[in-house]
Amino acid sequence: MFLIVGLGNPEEKYAKTFHNLGFLAAADCAELLHAKFKKKECEASVAETNYKGEKLVIARPTTYMNASGRAVKQLLAKYKLGPKELVVIYDDYDLPKGHVRVRPSGSAGTHNGMRSIIAETGLTDFARIRIGIRAPESEIPLIDYVLSDIRKEDYDLFSAATHRAAEAALAIAAGENFDVVMTKYNG
């Protein structure tokens, strides 16, 4: 069994913001597998399916970004999963826009959602997929930038990035060699 969590904010007004790229990537995962977000549990919207002979849960926390750890902790407990069965997808200001970076573990960096997950679960050794959002021309303060809408001219770039992130998450869930996944999807 495996858990993929895409981070974001649940209100419609945040749907097209940078901070919701994790939600969009989770939706891409579900779409690739013809799964639907039908359940609400553990403070998350959940899609369940089978993938490569194993149960796969795709979740989007409904706790808002800064409290994402509550939902992740509850989901891990409910499904009796450890860090090796978890991948988290989220936006990252530290990467150039549209870049995808897959890592087997790490710190929270500047991301409050990841800080929440690490604080709530006490874990750092879980896979994460970061989608870069930094635009060199932006002079907006970080808190305002991550909650701003993605510009229309960047939709295709970020759509491709969330799709790549979804494919990478599914490769990890399928048990593909992590170094191979990083080589294939990073960049």
DSSP H or E segment with residue 14: none
d(CA 171, CA 168): 5
Name the catalytic one among 19, 99, 111, 163: 19
163 is catalytic: no
Other CB atoms within a 10 A radius of the CB of residue 155 amount to 11
Strand partners, 133: none
Other CB atoms within a 10 A radius of the CB of residue 125 amount to 11
CA angle 126, 132, 137 (to 5 degrees): 155
- Closest by CA to 82, choosing from 170, 184, 156, 2, is 2
Find where tokens 């006490």 sit.
122
Catalytic sites, residue numbers = 19
